[in-house]
Amino acid sequence: MKDANQKFVYEFGKFALDPQEKTLFANGVPLHLPAKEFETLLLLVENNGRALSKEEMITAVWQDAFVEEGNLAKKISRLRKILNTNGDKLIETLPKHGYRFSADVRQILPSANETILEKRTVKRLTLRVEEDNSDSPLLLPAAEKKFPKRTIFIFFGLIMAAAIFGIWYSSKPKPTSKIGSIAVLPLRSLNAGENDKTVGLGLTDALITKIGGLKTVIVRPLSAVTKFTDDDALEIGKKLSVDAVLEGTVYEADGRVRLNVRLLRVENGEQIWAEKFEGESARVFDLEDRLSEQTARALGLKLGEGDSERLTKRYTINADAHHAYVRGRFFWNRRTPGDLKEAVKYFSEAVEKDPNYALAYVGLADAYSLLADYGAVSPKESYEKARAAASKALELDDNLAGAHTSLAYVKMYYYWDWEGAESSYRRAIALNPNYATARQWYSEYLTAMGRFDEALAEIRRAKEIDPLSPIVNAGEVWILYFARRYDEAIAQGQKIVEINPEFAEIHEYLKRCYDQKGMYREAIAARQMRRKLAGSDDRETAALRNAASASDADVYWRNRLEQEIEDARREKSEAFDLAEIYARIGENEKAFEWLEKAYQERHYTVMYLKVAPNLDSLRNDPRFDDILQRIGQMPR
């Protein structure tokens, strides 16, 4: 049995396999090897010469996950391409059984200060002086054969200097001026404990925040990179449509943290840069600073005024507070009522441990705002807490784009402070043009104001920053709906459903578009799917069947009303939705009654009063202008 603390590498031919660093080297140069391929190779090497069955390998590499034999075959195929550059058959296929690794494998114990990464060897140079006139690659005329020793030493020195310079130059980070976007993948923890993952996640979040704040490169947000379980960094990079990916590992033991990171060009897998970092666990923020600075340098970013300070800015020096904040963001990104409450708990823990932690207050504001939107907490209670948290964040740091965004959201949805909301959104975007959430929420503001072209420009910019975000992509459908561009909205929405069929909100947006097009069967199907995915009652009823088969708008909407009234007996009714239905069947008194209720509740959809298609029949009524005036959407 191997000593778990013993550090060694396996050598075979030109290759070296380091189990501790989880890296394969060829002639001292690290090769890109996804985690499952590394584990497959390590299993083969550790059992060198022994036949391994497919079942045995799948169980060892994928453990509790269910995978098919094809997954293993693909890993073996890729490993052969990497290892068989000299035509050697290192991995044998055993028909109807499995595989065997056949090589002269040596176990090497490197010295404590030895590193394999970027190892280079300079061979001894010799000079032979010839007297004849034969064609020789290094021929000196006979008349010049007697050089003073000093001249020969100088000649040797120049050759050695050139060789050393070549080695130094080849190990420098390659110019990366063409890199316009990057994904920082969560650093993989080499420790076994669940809590250990927060170290890598915290470093990842810090790097994304710092590099993303430089404005010169688009950095995918943390929410975009944490959703992937695919082990191949280059494949993730392609899915995220970035020019480069940064991946690495983090290992913590005996009060120290060690990082191994590398920057890969997605187009061809070229390793642009690789580095090791090590420091005391108690000074993990020093590692953050060094990692951020060297990553920016490797990316070839031109730093402007204040950028150096941004790279080393520390929002907290309390490691426990930072870990709580990272866990809060993890739950916030899941966006369910239960997860949002967990987020509030962790953000509150972060500010308790560090009352001056501005980012944690931003997290609190965002969590409270979404809790109100999801109906988990009353708007008055939740939005007031959100405003207080965002204001505290700005009091601590007025240059936080996230804090301005959070405050703008509250001003827009609850306080109907339109001028203040737009000012805060513009300030946030000026501070960080690559903050997708700011642009997404600003597009919602512009939609409510009826400025649809501007809204589309903002949401499309947000999509460039975070192209796989379901909520950002759905934002374009939302805008197109209010702009009465239903065909475009439906086409875009159907694409999102193909990619994210379990994203509930897109079915709500599609239902609204189908309503306007008279596509009632599709509308009811979308309604039911949304309720199913949201965990609501999605049973088919007579009213729903009648609505789906209706050929007349009045029949459709009256059956919809019947269903809504029935649902209200078991769940909270949405006042704004009922106002829309009553408006569609011409019962204006009821429509205004429910609109007034929505206004009193300060329901978030009230902000779209000015542009809501279902309320068009009420626009000539003075009572409609009165509500618009009260929410500040028309001159008094």
Task: Give the per-residue SS3 of 531-594.
Answer: HHHCCCCCCCCHHHHHHHCCCCHHHHHHHHHHHHHHHHCCCCCCHHHHHHHHHHCCCHHHHHHH
Beta-sheet strands, E only, within 142-186? 181-184
Residue 490 to residue 519: CA distance in whole angstroms:
11
Confidence of residue 34 (pLDDT cuts 50, 70, 90): confident
Hunting for tokens 């809060």 — which residue is that?
328
Residue 90 to residue 80: CA distance in whole angstroms:
8
Taking each helix axis from N to C end, the angle separating 575-584 and 553-568, rounded to the nearest 10 degrees, works out to 150
Q: Is the pLDDT at 469 greater than 80, yes or no?
A: yes
Q: Are 340 and 376 in contact (CB under 8 A)?
A: yes
Highest mean pLDDT among 134-138, 224-228, 306-310, 435-439: 435-439
Q: Is the pLDDT at 479 greater than 70, yes or no?
A: yes
Residue 441 to residue 412: CA distance in whole angstroms:
9
Quick one: average pLDDT of 9-24? 84
pLDDT at residue number 573: 77
pLDDT at residue number 132: 43
Residue 374 to residue 415: CA distance in whole angstroms:
18
Quick one: average pLDDT of 593-605? 92
Hunting for tokens 């975007």 — which residue is that?
429
pLDDT at residue number 192: 58
Confidence of residue 378 (pLDDT cuts 50, 70, 90): confident
Confidence of residue 230 (pLDDT cuts 50, 70, 90): low
Q: In what order do the strands lie in the sheet with 9-12?
A: 29-31, 23-26, 15-18, 9-12, 106-108
pLDDT at residue number 578: 95
Running DSSP on this structure, what letter comes out for residue 618? G
Residue 380 to residue 372: CA distance in whole angstroms:
8
Q: Are 243 and 264 in contact (CB under 8 A)?
A: no
pLDDT at residue number 133: 45
The distance of Cα 8 from the centroid of its chain, to the nearest Å, equals: 34
Residue 168 to residue 118: CA distance in whole angstroms:
10
Highest mean pLDDT among 5-19, 75-89, 249-263: 249-263
Helix, strand, coil fractions of the chain, as percent rounded to 5 = 55, 10, 35
Residue 247 to residue 236: CA distance in whole angstroms:
11
Residue 64 to residue 57: CA distance in whole angstroms:
12
Instruction: For 205-238, give one letter per residue: b (16+ CB within 10 A) or e.
Output: bbbbbbbbbbebbbbbbbbbbbebeebbbbebbe
pLDDT at residue number 368: 94
Structure token pair of residue 229? 């379980």
Structure token pair of residue 146? 């007697």
Quick one: average pLDDT of 584-609? 94
pLDDT at residue number 222: 85
Residue 231 to residue 127: CA distance in whole angstroms:
50
Contacts of 21 (CB under 8 A, 6+ apart): 116, 117, 249, 260
pLDDT, tens only, 506-564: 999 999 999 999 999 999 999 999 999 888 888 899 999 999 999 999 999 999 999 99
Nearest residue to 318 (alpha-carbon basis) of 364, 350, 293: 350
Residue 108 to residue 19: CA distance in whole angstroms:
12
Quick one: average pLDDT of 357-377? 89
Quick one: average pLDDT of 475-504? 95
pLDDT at residue number 114: 45
Q: Is the pLDDT at 614 greater than 90, yes or no?
A: yes
Model pTM score = 0.74
pLDDT at residue number 508: 95
DSSP states along 301-357: ----TTHHHHHH--S-S-HHHHHHHHHHHHHHTT-SHHHHHHHHHHHHHHHHH-TT-
Give the CA angle between residues 112, 40, 15 to the nearest 5°. 45
pLDDT at residue number 145: 46
Q: Are 383 and 351 in contact (CB under 8 A)?
A: no
Quick one: average pLDDT of 376-403? 92
pLDDT at residue number 460: 96
Residue 55 to residue 72: CA distance in whole angstroms:
10
Q: Which one is predicted more confidently, 134 or 34?
A: 34
Instruction: Give percent of the chain with pLDDT exceeding 70.
Output: 84
pLDDT at residue number 483: 98
Residue 323 to residue 236: CA distance in whole angstroms:
25
pLDDT at residue number 148: 58
Nearest residue to 412 (alpha-carbon basis) of 435, 390, 395, 436: 390
Q: Which one is predicted more confidently, 268 or 126?
A: 268
Residue 4: count other Cβ atoms within 10 Å of its Cβ.
Answer: 5
pLDDT at residue number 144: 44
pLDDT at residue number 117: 41
Lowest-confidence segment of 175-184, 202-211, 457-466 by average pLDDT: 175-184
Q: Is the pLDDT at 635 greater than 70, yes or no?
A: no
Q: Is the pLDDT at 417 greater than 90, yes or no?
A: yes
Quick one: average pLDDT of 419-426? 97
pLDDT at residue number 87: 44
Quick one: average pLDDT of 116-140? 40
pLDDT, tens only, 86-113: 445 788 888 878 898 888 888 887 654 4
Q: Which residues pair with 260 in a beta bridge?
A: 249, 276
Amino acid type, 87:
G
Instruction: Give percent of the chain with pLDDT exceeding 90.
Output: 42
pLDDT at residue number 137: 41
Residue 590 to residue 618: CA distance in whole angstroms:
12
Q: What is the mean pLDDT of the chain?
A: 83
pLDDT at residue number 138: 40
pLDDT, tens only, 291-345: 888 888 888 877 766 777 778 788 888 888 988 998 898 888 777 888 999 999 9
Residue 532 to residue 529: CA distance in whole angstroms:
5
Taking each helix axis from N to C end, the angle separating 588-601 and 575-584, rounded to the nearest 10 degrees, works out to 160
Radius of gyration of the chain (CA): 31
Quick one: average pLDDT of 579-595? 97
